[in-house]
Amino acid sequence: MIMIEAFVRPEKADIILASLQEQGYSAATRISVLGRGKQKGLKVKSVLYEELPKEMIILVVEDQDEEKVVAAIMKSARNGNDGTYGDGKIFVTPVSTAYTISSGKAEL
C-alpha cells in the first residue's frame, strides 16, 4: 500500500475528490492547511502573504494504483494544459501496515 498526499489549490479540491470518486477512490481525507513552497508566499502591493491556503488530500491505495491516482490528481489540479506555478505538489510514501481501530485488525 502507498499513501498519496496532495497539496493543491483550495478551488481545485472538490474537482479532484469528484474525479477520484468517479474512478472508485472514495476514501480520502481533506484538510485545510497554510504553507508556502518555492514561491515563498505572495506579495500584493505592499502586503506579503508568507503562507498561502492549500488543501491537503490524503488517500491510501494499493501500489498498482499509484499511477492512475496520481494522474487523476494532476489532471484535476492543473491550471490550463501546462499548469502554473503554485498548482501544488504530490508526495507518495509506502505504508507498511494499517490498523482498523474498531476491530483492531491489521491490513498489509
- CATH number, position 43: 3.30.70.120
pLDDT at 11: 96
Between 71 and 39, name the one with better pLDDT.
71
Domain extent, residue 95, equals 2-107
DSSP state of 79: S
For residues 30, 67, 95, 12, the Cα torsion angle rounded to the nearest 10 degrees is -10
Write out pLDDT tens, residues 83-94: 888 899 999 999
Q: Are 95 and 9 in contact (CB under 8 A)?
A: no
Between 64 and 40, name the one with better pLDDT.
64
Which range in 3-17, 23-37, 78-92 is most confidently predicted, on average pLDDT? 3-17
User: In angstroms, rounded to a whole number, what is the distance separating the alpha carbons of residues 20 and 56?
Assistant: 14
Between 37 and 66, name the one with better pLDDT.
66
User: In angstroms, rounded to a whole number, what is the distance separating the alpha carbons of residues 95 and 108?
Assistant: 8
pLDDT at 66: 97
Is pLDDT above 90 for 69? yes
**Number of domains, the chain:** 1
User: In angstroms, rounded to a whole number, what is the distance separating the alpha carbons of residues 49 and 30?
Assistant: 23
Confidence label for 44 from pLDDT (cuts 50, 70 and 90): confident
Return mean pLDDT, the chain.
92
